[in-house]
Amino acid sequence: MLVIDEEGNRLGEFLIEDAVRLAEERGFDLVEVAPNARPPVCKITDFGRLKYDKKKREATVRRNQVQVQLKEVKLRPKTDDHDMGVKVRATRSFLEEGNKVKITVRFRGREMAHRDIGAEQCLRVAEEVKDAGLIESHPRMDGRQMFMILAPLRRPTAPRPRSEDSDARMQDEEEGEE
């Protein structure tokens, strides 16, 4: 097997027993990093430290991930203009946060005969927020409800925490202006 030391230098090919003995002499572990390579590659390193670093990297990746949620905005075929404006503002804010939005139009009784009004309501919302989102799924019926899904145009960037250094720099700039 090919052995790499703790600094990343290639030591050469060793028998398994010799490689393990060499790692123990140096006070480290022998970790197989490429088992499918010919010959297999092993590295002399601290296995506990390797696991710790991997765990930290995974935690950082998870922390920086943005979770996309599905928010719902409910309408009726008779929703008036002002109320529609409120729903459009809510839809826009959800899309700007990077969430998908499900527009739901509920029908009751004889309203079922006017599905075209429900589709118009859905498309009206989509038209008013077209700068923030696009239609992912066009209006369709599901029982007594019609729904449509809007997706955000761009993914939000994860907010970066401000460092103390940048805060100090901003204070210095403000004091210089006075």
Total tally of structural domains belonging to the chain: 2
Q: What is the pLDDT along the chain (178 residues), one digit of tens a residue?
A: 888 888 888 888 888 888 889 889 888 998 888 888 888 999 998 889 889 999 999 998 888 877 778 999 999 999 899 999 999 999 999 999 889 999 999 999 998 898 999 999 999 999 999 898 999 999 999 999 999 999 998 766 555 555 555 555 555 555 555 5
pLDDT at position 84:
93
Over the range 149-164, which residues count as b (16 or more CB within 10 Å of their CB) and which as e? bbebeeeeeeeeeeee
pLDDT at position 168:
54
Q: From CA 161, how far away is CA 175, in angstroms rounded? A: 23
In a domain, 165, yes or no: no
Q: What is the pTM of this model?
A: 0.55
99 and 30 fall within a common domain: no
- Please return the burial class of 121, using the count of CB atoms within 10 Å of its CB with bins 0-12, 13-18 and 19+: buried
55 and 74 fall within a common domain: no
Domain that holds residue 143: 70-152
pLDDT at position 159:
52
115 and 58 fall within a common domain: no
45 and 82 fall within a common domain: no
Q: Which amino acid is at 8?
A: G
pLDDT at position 62:
86
pLDDT at position 158:
52
pLDDT at position 87:
94
